[in-house]
A and B are shown apart, each in its own frame.
Chain A
Amino acid sequence: MTKAGVGTVETNYFTFASQQDEFILESKEKLCPVVIAYETYGTLNKEKSNAVLILHALSGDAHAAGLHKGEDKPGWWDNMIGPGRAFDTEKYFIICPNVLGGCRGSTGPASLNPKTNKPYALDFPVITIGDMVAAQKALIDSFGIDKLLTVVGGSMGGMQALAWLVKYPERIRSAIPIATALRHTPQQIAFDEVGRQAIMADPDWNSGNYYEGKPPDRGLAVARMIGHITYMSDISMTEKFGRQKKNNKQPFKFTADFEVEGYLRYRGDNFVKRFDANSYLYITKAMDNFDASQNKPFHEVLSGKSLKVLVIAFKSDWLYPAYQSKEIVKACKYAGIETSYCEVDSTYGHDAFLLETKEETHLISHFLKSVSQKRGRA
């Protein structure tokens, strides 16, 4: 058995921006106040040089590790965070914020609009991955941290790590983008759009104004089901479900006969208990609009930066195929950045970034060690 994790944890809330000093979004729209939910694990050292920022994916939240009081389900990356784990809490201070636009404690479309005293719903401004990262920077500033040891995340978390590289390279020593892309392809946008259409086609969605009534649970559940298909692989689905049937009874022609159907329904039904449909719309749109090289080629952005980058991809990931990670690597190479890249042989599909923790632990723990040492030498 490995060592125990971080134990009982709780979510904290950081509030910033006021009427006098509003948070200005990339769209030039303004937002105030802004609340960012976050959790921390480990201890910030005196030099404030051991901070790691962990960035979650589309459906994640600030609860990356440990247990909330009275609950038995650990955080979403628990086996990567803790004493002796990849993000060793005996060495590093880990911060994991919920994204702006989310629904797990940070300001998002379900939050109260101070101007109307009702939830924002679709009055919530369009947000970008860059806005999420700008809000995270405000949080980091509040800790008095000048430079993060690393920013790390998978999928949309990886996009945020790339956005840190572009927006605040002087505030980070390294970045670890995992199973991600410089920008979405039409295929990735298409899957997101089907998810959004499923939500908006649900009559309960009511143009986003459902906070006082019944939320669009069916639409959001279908969006989640589509998502789950794209997170797995042909092989991982076959291994997990086969053509196994749940039972032989047929009370209704279109019940969930196959295991895979039951699984997707279960995942969909569970998701609506913890996720806001409007957040799903805003966040997927932010991902689709993201382009790490919006203004100039990505390698020009990186050029001359004294950073280290570790890029990780997974062989069976067809949602964020390895070639997209290689494009990140290519830009780093061209910019002369010290880069490591590994394409892990996994059958789990996109979900691998949450499951292949043995390989990730090896790569990340050694990488972090070399980043810390590099600082010592300089």
Chain B
Amino acid sequence: MKSDEIIKSDHKAVLDMVESNSSVLDLGCGGGDLLELLTIKKNVRGQGIEIDEQAIYRCVAKGLSVLHGDIDTGLSEYKDKAFDYVILNQSLQQLKHVETVLFDALRVGKKVIVGFPNFAYCRARLRLFFRGRVPITASLPYTWYETPNLHFLSTLDFLDYCKEKKIKVERKVYLAADKRIQILPNFFANIGIFLISK
């Protein structure tokens, strides 16, 4: 249940970042919940890409346009600035080739929205520090042997990276459960969502 609330609040944050009637490419769109929300609430022209076959069927049942494929192989078939937004929500940390995909997303989208679990979240820190165990939190719910996550990063890691690569960070939203976090976000937020552009 708790993770459900978190999914809702991160979708809400993305919803706030997207302009009405825009075009959206959702990379790793899963069953299409976010894309459906954007279609209904913001009348976006949406396109999803998803690797899981069963998730494709759920997207199609929602009337969404979805492509069965691996985003790790890149987005070379899309023209520059083909979409107003490219979304990488909860999929960045699962990519094999983060840089390739992120830069391709910045080429294909006028803006990119990236959302990922914050590894430096206070509960994660406590679990690691006091219990000596790899963090299992609401936003990082997996055991070490079944996690699909390949990269573990904090929100500060991401901001450092953007600075180094000269990626403009236009908006930052930090979340924990249903709340937006303003103070010490890298400590108190378990999800970070960023609107970036090149």
Binary contact readout B51-75 vs A (1 if CB under 8 angstroms, 0 otherwise): 0010011011101111111000000
**Which chain B positions have C-beta within 8 A of A369?**
63
Which B residues form the contact surface with A (CB < 8 A)?
A: 45, 47, 53, 56-57, 59-61, 63-69, 77-79, 82
> What are 9 A-to-B residue pairs whose CB atoms are below 8 Å?
A308-B65, A330-B77, A334-B78, A339-B65, A340-B65, A341-B66, A363-B57, A363-B60, A367-B60
Q: At the interface, yes or no: A43 with Cβ under 8 Å from chain B?
A: no
**Which chain A positions have C-beta within 8 A of B82?**
336
Categorize the interface residue count of chain A: 20 to 34
Which A residues form the contact surface with B (CB < 8 A)?
A: 308, 326, 329-330, 333-334, 336, 338-345, 359, 362-363, 366-367, 369-370, 373
Kindly name the residue among B45, B60, B78, B79 whose own CB sees the greatest number of chain A CB atoms within 10 A. B60
B-side interface mostly: mixed
The answer to whether A366 and B67 have CB atoms under 8 Å apart is no
Q: Contacts A339-B67, A340-B66, A341-B67 given: A366-B61 contact, CB under 8 Å?
A: yes
Min CB–CB distance B11 → chain A (angstroms) = 21
Min CB–CB distance B102 → chain A (angstroms) = 19
Which one of B47, B60, B68 lies within 8 Å of A362 (CB-CB)?
B60
Which one of A338, A341, A373 lies within 8 Å of B69 (CB-CB)?
A341
**Which chain B positions have C-beta within 8 A of A367?**
60
A-side interface mostly: helix
> Considering the chains assembled together, what is the distance between the CA atoms of A98 and B34 in angstroms?
44
> Considering the chains assembled together, what is the distance between the CA atoms of A370 and B62 in angstroms?
9
Q: Contacts A363-B60, A366-B60, A366-B61 given: A345-B53 contact, CB under 8 Å?
A: yes
**Which chain A positions have C-beta within 8 A of B64?**
340
**Which chain A positions have C-beta within 8 A of B69?**
326, 329, 341
Given contacts A340-B60, A340-B65, A363-B60, 4 further A-B contacts (CB under 8 A): A333-B77, A340-B67, A342-B57, A342-B60
> Considering the chains assembled together, what is the distance between the CA atoms of A106 and B66 in angstroms?
38
Q: Contacts A359-B57, A363-B57 given: A341-B68 contact, CB under 8 Å?
A: yes
Q: Contacts A334-B79, A344-B53, A363-B57 given: A329-B63 contact, CB under 8 Å?
A: no
The answer to whether B67 and A333 have CB atoms under 8 Å apart is yes
> Considering the chains assembled together, what is the distance between the CA atoms of A362 and B56 in angstroms?
11
For B66, give the chain A residue with the smallest CB separation.
A340
